[in-house]
Amino acid sequence: MKEYWIKDSSLADRGRKRIAWSETQMPVLMEIRKRFSEEKPLKGVRIGACLHITTDTGVLMRALAAGGAELYLCASNPLSTQDDVTAALVEEGVHVYGFRGQTEEEYYRCLGYVIASEPMITMDDGADLISAIHKLRYGIRTKELDYLKDIVEGIDFEKMVDGIIGGSEETTTGVIRLKALAREGKLLYPVIAVNDAESKRLFDNPIGTGQSALDGIIRATNTLLAGRDAVVVGFGNVGSGIAHRLRGMGARVTVVEVDPIKALKAVMDGFNVEPMSKAARHGDLFITATGDINVIRREHFEVMKDGAILANAGHFNVEISIKDLEEISTRKERISDCITTYILRDGRRLYLLAEGRLVNLACAEGHPSEVMDMSFSLQALSAKYLVENRGKLPRDVLMVPAEIDREVASLKLKAMGIEIEKLTDEQRRYLSSWTLGT
């Protein structure tokens, strides 16, 4: 078993400094870390995490370690790892398996090392770790799992799963996958949907991705957003945040949606709403945020303007059909770290950012730490909750307990120096009564 697998240990100093900067932006998680160092709620607990390895994740790892956990961490995306962070964490005793630019095989082998640690809690961003554990336990063979089979050889998966206290999931796509597993009655342990907590979903998804997706696009292309004809596909938590921020930067924004309620919301927020077949004809910049597959595909590429830019903010690289793009192109050229130009038969060029992967993490640094402060505080407190309730929770996808959700929001407000109004006793009585009226 490898102790770690990273790109370059000599980057540790830079990683340490950058994690230290994030710590200054994550007061809630730092408060939790302080409590964890005193209480040691995770003493002796092996946590296997599959997360984007950024500086914020570094701060989370330090908080979990302060709580007494033993940590095994792999990347949740082949392109999002910050190699200096991995080096710093390895020096601090975290078993890290990940580096930027992994092949598919390397990605799954890294996942294999985390599984081989036989984690007692799993922490996912996209559900790759938990889904691999379930497939191995159910004896389902896939090409991806073949990559790691020698690493996990000899493990008794039934016994291993029995030892798992629970898991947590960071993102919408992961929660969708887990709910499908639970619906089939196959989920083997309780999993907390951190994504669905209010203090995550209402901030991380729209505000964090809203800013960081544009950051990624700007860093990759240095393009001017003002006056741009921008098309946002999906007007959910993430897409609505991106659309509003694009408009704030002066872009002319069209929204593409399949859900009539979300589409109506977009219309009443003042956006132009169209089907993709129309939007494809005029957009200069396309950003997908649906968690769905092939939302931009051949028929759309065929009518796009020369020079259109394509970016994805959804979890997997499936929203923009790369297969179709490859098939209709005569050649492609990597023109920078983040841009691939596809040259179509008629000479038009389409620019794909980050190989269709999460543009905010692959071309920038992911969400600002201030936002991850809440998401990762929820992760840390959810791990503590799972341990405290070991054996008592159902094998289902569970909400973050409301007290934890509200505590994270309250701690964030306190850290921001913002006081809020409190209900009087009279108001509390009034709001919980059905007898009072006009």
Binding site for ligand NAD (CB under 6 A): 171-173, 205, 209, 233-239, 256-259, 262, 289-292, 295, 313-315, 358, 360
* Nearest partner of 19 among 3, 30, 35, 28, judged by Cα: 30
CB of 126 to ligand NAD, least distance (A): 7
CB of 171 to ligand NAD, least distance (A): 4
For helices 172-183 and 128-138, angle between their N-to-C axes, nearest 10 degrees: 20
CB of 6 to ligand NAD, least distance (A): 22
Comparing CB distances to ligand NAD, the nearer of 172 and 379 is 172
Comparing CB distances to ligand NAD, the nearer of 41 and 366 is 366
CB of 359 to ligand NAD, least distance (A): 7
Comparing CB distances to ligand NAD, the nearer of 282 and 414 is 282
Cα 97 → chain centroid: 18
Q: What is the arrangement of strands in the sheet containing 229-233, beginning at the earlier edge strand? A: 272-273, 252-256, 229-233, 285-288, 308-312, 349-353, 339-344, 329-334
For residue 424, CA distances in Å to 273, 406, 427 come to: 44, 19, 5
CB of 399 to ligand NAD, least distance (A): 15
Comparing CB distances to ligand NAD, the nearer of 15 and 236 is 236
Q: Which residue number places its CB atom closest to ligand NAD?
A: 236
Rounded Cα distance, 70 and 120, in Å: 10
CB of 213 to ligand NAD, least distance (A): 6
Comparing CB distances to ligand NAD, the nearer of 53 and 387 is 53
* Nearest partner of 92 among 6, 201, 153, judged by Cα: 6
SS3 51: strand
Annotate 282-307 with b (16+ C-beta within 10 A) or e (fewer).
Answer: bbbbbbbbbbbeebbbeebbeebeee
Comparing CB distances to ligand NAD, the nearer of 45 and 193 is 193
Which two tokens mark 146? 């073949």
For residue 64, CA distances in Å to 2, 31, 154, 159, 228 come to: 21, 12, 29, 25, 43
CB of 175 to ligand NAD, least distance (A): 8
Comparing CB distances to ligand NAD, the nearer of 122 and 375 is 375
